């Protein structure tokens, strides 16, 4: 029988109940052994409450802010956390839904003003937190800037920009395929079980999310073994089950391709492009940083780290068709196109497990997936940035509403984690009830 690595086992073999009772006291000098966050337990509770706000446990790259800070005005409304709603026969308040999924911080912005802001688990307004896969949607919008500038054509093959991938499955895909995750990879996005030798395991090892000390120690002048994610992309192959373009499958390596294209076209590292084109224009309060892979390249698929209000500022720009702080931060045409789902794009999601009522990942809110945005309602401009363990940025253009949450949930997959579903329902309840 093949060996598998399970994060729950790696994390000191503790049960969920033991996790709930354990306490991480990393502020002690030195930390007690049972409290010590390591590269083997950092994503498991209770360790992730500390590690997700100190994600420089991975190599990190600076994304500096710029200009004056643009304050978000307050119009606090004590009713918001107590808004009540029903979901699957159970009653919740907004705050119940947040606490129930181990939220570290939540901010609700209505009509450009903060109406609710609360922090939990020792997290605070000046603490950084990893976005995880919410980073993907930011990368998708940076790609839109290059499309508007005429530097990228989404209808040409990836190999046009990345000749290193010529003759490979990724190289033969159109850029649009990778932006909508319809590239039909032979790959399994499993955050728990890692079979040695599988492409998915090798991918996560190179991201640094699974310890890979052997890769870290490789001398690239003496070995051609891919150390980081980008050299590994040439090894991905097509599934035998269906053709590219048939259905949406949530496969993170697509975004590494997009990030590489952005860097190649701009002639700069991804974190520098984001700093110059986005982060320096938002009037944010803090510098950001990006986690890096074993090759010290910015992790396009999930490496961004910011404070919560700065996360929300990205949502405010997106909600306003790319405009914020007196700047056209994102492309207005691209934001609108992101919501403008074609019939084919709707069908791609309809063919996915997210629309299968018998699947644990069934998502009643999802209409489409485009440019790495989870589109809930294309007509009214409603969608989410989503990152594992509960990182969410909810956008509702019709209601002029932005909701940002950081979390340190018990398990990675938002799609199948039952405690995350009331959170998504809470977003909709706020949109419906908050006037």
The crossing angle, in degrees rounded to 10, of helices 270-277 and 253-266 is: 70
Neighbouring residues of 425: CB distance < 8 A, sequence distance ≥ 6: 85, 87, 92, 97
CA 310, 316, 318, 321 torsion: positive or negative? negative
Band of pLDDT at residue 23, cut at 50, 70 and 90: low
Calculate the alpha carbon distances from 385 to 113, 361, 424 in Å. Answer: 20, 17, 12
| Cα–Cα distance, 237 to 186 (Å, whole number) | 6
The mean pLDDT of 360-382, rounded to a whole number, is 97
Calculate the alpha carbon distances from 418 to 7, 287, 415 in Å. Answer: 19, 34, 8
The mean pLDDT of 210-227, rounded to a whole number, is 94
Share of the chain above pLDDT 90, in %: 86
The mean pLDDT of 76-96, rounded to a whole number, is 97
Helix extents (H) in 222-307: 229-232, 253-266, 270-277
At residue 370's C-alpha, the angle toward residues 381 and 314, to 5°, is: 60
The mean pLDDT of 112-137, rounded to a whole number, is 97
Residue 380, pLDDT score: 98
- pLDDT for 256 beyond 50: yes
The residue ranges of DSSP E strands in 60-124, in sequence order, are: 60-63, 84-87, 90-93, 103-110, 113-119
The mean pLDDT of 144-166, rounded to a whole number, is 98
The mean pLDDT of 299-327, rounded to a whole number, is 98
Q: What share of the chain is helix, strand, coil (3-state, %, to 5)?
A: 35, 20, 50
CA 108, 289, 229, 57 torsion: positive or negative? negative
Calculate the alpha carbon distances from 372 to 123, 142, 176, 369, 375 in Å. Answer: 27, 11, 11, 6, 9
The mean pLDDT of 422-428, rounded to a whole number, is 98
- pLDDT for 296 beyond 90: yes
The count of residues in the chain is 435
State which CATH number among 3.90.1300.10, 3.40.710.10, 3.40.50.720, 3.40.50.2300 fits the domain covering 31-422. Answer: 3.40.710.10
pLDDT digits (tens, 9 = 90+) for 344-357: 999 999 999 999 99
| Cα–Cα distance, 123 to 48 (Å, whole number) | 12
Contact between 258 and 180 under an 8 Å Cβ cutoff? The reply is no
- The strand pairing partners of 324, in sequence order, are 327
The mean pLDDT of 399-425, rounded to a whole number, is 96
Residue 28, pLDDT score: 82
Contact between 291 and 55 under an 8 Å Cβ cutoff? The reply is yes
Neighbouring residues of 214: CB distance < 8 A, sequence distance ≥ 6: none
Tokens at 21, concatenated: 């009772």
**Domain spans in the chain, listed from the N-terminal domain onward:** 31-422
In this predicted structure, which of 17-26, 93-102, 151-160 has the lowest mean pLDDT?
17-26
Contact between 388 and 132 under an 8 Å Cβ cutoff? The reply is yes
Average pLDDT, the chain: 93
Residue 74 carries which DSSP code?
B
Residue 12, pLDDT score: 28
In this predicted structure, which of 209-213, 255-259, 295-299 has the lowest mean pLDDT?
209-213
- pLDDT for 14 beyond 50: no
Band of pLDDT at residue 39, cut at 50, 70 and 90: confident
- pLDDT for 11 beyond 50: no
């Amino acid at each position: 029988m093949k060996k598998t690595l399970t994060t729950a086992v790696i994390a000191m073999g503790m049960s969920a109940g033991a996790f709930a009772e354990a306490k991480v006291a990393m502020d002690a000098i030195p930390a007690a052994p049972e409290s010590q966050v390591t590269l083997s337990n950092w994503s498991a509770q209770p360790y992730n409450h500390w590690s997700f706000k100190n994600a420089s446990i991975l190599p990190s790259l600076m994304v500096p802010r710029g200009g004056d800070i643009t304050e978000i005005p307050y119009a606090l409304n004590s009713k918001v956390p107590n808004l009540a709603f029903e979901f699957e026969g159970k009653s919740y308040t907004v705050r119940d839904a947040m606490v129930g999924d181990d939220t570290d911080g939540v901010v609700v912005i209505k009509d450009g003003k903060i109406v609710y802001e609360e922090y939990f688990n020792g997290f605070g307004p000046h603490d950084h937190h990893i976005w995880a896969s919410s980073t993907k949607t930011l990368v998708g919008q940076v790609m839109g800037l290059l499309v508007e500038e005429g530097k990228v054509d989404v209808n040409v093959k990836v190999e046009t920009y990345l000749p290193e991938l010529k003759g490979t499955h990724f190289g033969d895909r159109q850029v649009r395929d990778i932006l909508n995750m319809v590239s039909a990879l032979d790959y399994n996005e499993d955050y728990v079980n890692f079979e040695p030798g599988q492409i998915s395991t090798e991918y996560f090892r190179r991201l640094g999310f699974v310890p890979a000390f052997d890769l870290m120690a490789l001398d690239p002048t003496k070995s051609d073994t891919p150390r980081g994610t980008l050299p590994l992309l040439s090894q991905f192959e097509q599934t035998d089950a269906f053709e590219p373009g048939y259905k949406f499958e949530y496969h993170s390596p697509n975004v590494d391709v997009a990030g590489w294209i952005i860097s190649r076209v701009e002639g700069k590292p991804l974190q520098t492009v984001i700093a110059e084109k986005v982060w320096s224009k938002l009037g944010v309060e803090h510098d950001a940083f990006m986690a890096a892979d074993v090759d010290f390249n910015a992790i396009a698929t999930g490496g961004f780290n910011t404070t919560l209000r700065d996360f929300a500022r990205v949502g405010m720009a997106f909600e306003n068709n790319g405009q914020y702080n007196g700047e056209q931060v994102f492309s207005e045409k691209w934001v609108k196109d992101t919501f403008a789902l074609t019939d084919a794009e709707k069908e791609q999601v309809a063919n996915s497990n997210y629309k299968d009522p018998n699947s644990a990942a069934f998502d009643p809110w999802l209409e489409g997936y485009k440019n790495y945005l989870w589109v809930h309602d294309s007509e009214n401009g409603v969608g989410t940035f989503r990152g594992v363990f509960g990182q969410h940025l909810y956008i509702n253009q019709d209601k002029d509403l932005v909701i940002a949450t950081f979390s340190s949930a018990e398990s990675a997959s938002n799609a199948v984690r039952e405690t995350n579903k009331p959170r998504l329902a809470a977003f909709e309840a706020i949109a419906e009830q908050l006037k």
